[in-house]
């Protein structure tokens, strides 16, 4: 349920509504706009009567959001969310390019990667320190040492960093280093992790589960927002289909559909979405044309030496070409 306060509602009237919500055993979510305050009711509000709130002083309107996701929906928040990270903005026309290797392999590798992607105009550096690998016998990431190397690369280049967190118990640790915490496809429905991510105050990059429906994807984001963290960036990264010529099928349909249903920024990862360097550039351009607020791509100083995902990792020259074409396309939009 959403309670819209009158433009001139005073603090006492707002406090009263909040108290009434608490009395029903539910949680209020207060969003203070320039004009008016909107109060969302979080929890199972099925037993609440709109009429109980409509008659309270200072209340203009009360309505129910019928979809199961509430806080992420455009019904709850009409204006697109913009996320600010160290001078970089994402959402509502602010587009970003996140680039870097699949995994942090060494100090030299991540620093070189950072310098390369920065020189071509990337806004944010990526690199996995904790890697969720399908095969337990392959490289699992450098862990905390990897986080420290990312931090060093950030200090040297000024690029904010995004890195994956695999477990709820690591959220605090990773948030000490990362500017954005990534939750990967395999963890999109790890509810303990989502809740822990909801309790911190850093942006979360939530990747779509490889078999997740649109609704499941948005419900996972709702977990994060319902814990109080409003800064979620959604990321389409391809889904499992019957096709065998790509690693995954990049579902670009979801971009404009999410934009309709949700105020959250949406980016696309054509690296994992295709698994093939030869089609990353066209699919990146297609993602932006579909309305994505940015891209996340894997880039390595020497892709053939990449310890993971070498087949989908762009070389510095390929990344340069991608950035050149991306800038031209964005100029058309602007």
Is residue 102 involved in binding ligand PEP (CB under 6 A)?
A: yes
CA dist 188 → 27, 105, 236 (Å): 24, 25, 12
> Quick one: tokens of 322?
């991608």
Is residue 263 involved in binding ligand PEP (CB under 6 A)?
A: no
**Which helix (H) or strand (E) is 295 found in, with range?**
strand 294-298
Minimum CB distance to ligand PEP smaller for 61 or for 211? 211
> 123, 309, 314, 319: which one contacts Mn ion (CB under 5 A)?
309
Q: Where are the alpha helices (DSSP H) in the chain?
A: 11-23, 50-54, 107-119, 144-157, 171-177, 191-199, 214-226, 254-261, 270-274, 280-289, 316-333
* Residue 271 Rama label (left phi>0; alpha psi -120 to 50; beta): alpha
Task: Compute the least distance from the CB of residue 209 to ligand PEP, in Å.
Answer: 9
Three-state SS for 199? Answer: helix
> 102, 153, 200, 239: which one contacts Mn ion (CB under 5 A)?
102
Query: What is the total count of residues that contact ligand PEP (CB under 6 A)?
Result: 10
Is residue 128 involved in binding ligand PEP (CB under 6 A)?
A: yes
Phi and psi at residue 306, to the nearest 5°: -60, 130
Closest residue to Mn ion: CB criterion: 102
* 31 Cβ contact list (under 8 Å, min separation 6): 37, 38, 39, 40, 77
- Mask for 264-303, x = binds ligand PEP (CB under 6 A): -----x--x-------------------------------
> 237, 247, 263, 300: which one contacts ligand PEP (CB under 6 A)?
237
Minimum CB distance to Mn ion smaller for 102 or for 268? 102
Minimum CB distance to Mn ion smaller for 131 or for 154? 131
Kindly compute the dihedral angle of the four CA atoms of residues 142, 148, 154, 155, in this order, to the nearest 10 degrees: -150
In the beta sheet, which residues pair with residue 234? 206, 266
Minimum CB distance to Mn ion smaller for 102 or for 180? 102
Contact 193, 169 (CB under 8 A): no
DSSP 94: B
CB burial of 86-106 (b: ≥16 within 10 Å; e: otherwise) equals: eebbbbeebbbbbbbbbbbbe
Give which of ligand PEP, Mn ion, none residue 313 binds (C-beta under 5 to 8 Å, depending on kind): none
- Mask for 200-229, x = binds ligand PEP (CB under 6 A): -------x----------------------
159 vs 114: CA distance, rounded Å: 8
> 37, 109, 175, 185: which one contacts ligand PEP (CB under 6 A)?
185
Minimum CB distance to ligand PEP smaller for 263 or for 272? 272
265 vs 66: CA distance, rounded Å: 22
- Mask for 10-49, x = binds ligand PEP (CB under 6 A): ----------------------------------------
Closest residue to ligand PEP: CB criterion: 184
Task: Compute the least distance from the CB of residue 209 to Mn ion, in Å.
Answer: 16
Task: Compute the least distance from the CB of residue 158 to ligand PEP, in Å.
Answer: 22
Interface residues with ligand PEP (CB under 6 A) are 102, 128, 132, 164, 184-185, 207, 237, 269, 272
């Amino acid at each position: 349920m959403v309670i819209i306060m009158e433009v001139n509602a005073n603090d006492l009237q707002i406090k009263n509504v909040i108290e009434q919500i608490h009395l029903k055993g539910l949680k209020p979510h207060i969003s203070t706009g320039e004009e008016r305050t909107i109060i969302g009711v979080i929890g199972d509000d099925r037993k609440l009567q709109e009429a109980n709130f409509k008659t309270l002083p200072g209340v203009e309107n009360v309505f129910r959001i019928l979809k199961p996701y509430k806080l992420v929906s455009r019904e709850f928040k009409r204006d697109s969310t913009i996320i600010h990270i160290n001078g970089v903005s994402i959402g509502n026309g602010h587009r970003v390019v996140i680039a870097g290797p699949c995994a942090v392999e060494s100090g030299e590798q991540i620093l070189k990667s950072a310098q390369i992607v920065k020189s071509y105009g990337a806004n944010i550096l990526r690199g996995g320190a904790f890697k969720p690998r399908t095969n337990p016998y392959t490289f699992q990431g450098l862990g905390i040492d990897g986080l420290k190397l990312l931090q060093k690369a950030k200090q040297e280049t000024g690029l904010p960093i995004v890195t994956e967190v695999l477990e709820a118990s690591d959220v605090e640790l990773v948030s000490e280093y990362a500017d954005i915490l990534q939750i990967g496809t395999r963890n999109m429905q790890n509810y303990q992790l989502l809740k822990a991510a909801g309790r911190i105050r850093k942006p979360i990059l939530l990747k779509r589960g490889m078999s997740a429906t649109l609704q499941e994807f948005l419900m996972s984001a709702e977990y994060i927002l319902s814990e109080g963290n409003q800064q979620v960036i959604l990321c389409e990264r391809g889904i499992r289909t019957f096709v065998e010529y790509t690693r995954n099928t990049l579902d670009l349909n979801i971009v404009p559909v999410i934009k309709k249903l949700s105020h959250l920024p949406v980016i696309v990862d054509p690296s994992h979405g295709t698994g093939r360097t030869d089609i990353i550039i066209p699919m990146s351009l297609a993602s932006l044309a579909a309305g994505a607020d940015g891209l996340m791509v894997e880039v390595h100083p020497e892709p053939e030496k990449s310890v993971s995902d070498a087949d989908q990792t762009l070389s510095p020259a390929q990344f340069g070409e991608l950035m050149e074409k991306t800038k031209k396309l964005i100029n058309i939009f602007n």
